[in-house]
Amino acid sequence: DAKTTQPPSMDCAEGRAANLPCNHSTISGNEYVYWYRQIHSQGPQYIIHGLKNNETNEMASLIITEDRKSSTLILPHATLRDTAVYYCIVSPLSYNQGGKLIFGQGTELSVKP
């Protein structure tokens, strides 16, 4: 079973920031928080991942709470092309440690004009 809880759907206005929350209260010390997204009928696309510090790349920012029990993915300026299902996953970084990417139901983000 997935170890994360996300709202099933969210709307965001184009050009505004999209903040997608994720609860992972049972996260283990060696588990990272990964975010992927899936646009309809395509394979998942990697967005960002982190352990305990906040992370930023060209796509998004990841804010992880100090207790690591929840996180927020931030798309700073959402566009219509960001409409997708966003998945938050916790897993060890190395699959040699038995890590697998187990997908939950994700959040369906709709960016509206």
Q: How far is the CB of 106 from another protein (least distance, A)?
A: 6
- Contact region with another protein (CB under 8 A), list: 23-31, 50-58, 67-75, 102-110: 102-110
For the chain, the distance separating the N- and C-terminal CA atoms, rounded to the nearest angstrom, is 36
- Contact region with another protein (CB under 8 A), list: 53-61, 64-72, 75-83, 101-109: 101-109
Per DSSP, 8 falls in state: S
9 contributes a contact to another protein by CB under 8 A: no
Contact assessment for residue 36 and residue 45, using Cβ atoms and an 8 Å cutoff: yes
106 contributes a contact to another protein by CB under 8 A: yes
Binding mask 27-66 for another protein (x = CB under 8 A): ---------x-x--xxxxxx--------------------
Q: How many residues bind another protein (CB under 8 A)?
A: 21
Task: Determine the Cα angle at 43 with ends 65 and 14, to 5°.
Answer: 60
Q: Exposed, middle or buried by CB within 10 Å (0-12, 13-18, 19+), for 18? A: buried
- For residue 75, list its beta bridge partners: 18
Q: Which residues bind another protein (CB under 8 A)?
A: 2, 36, 38, 41-46, 87, 93-96, 100-106
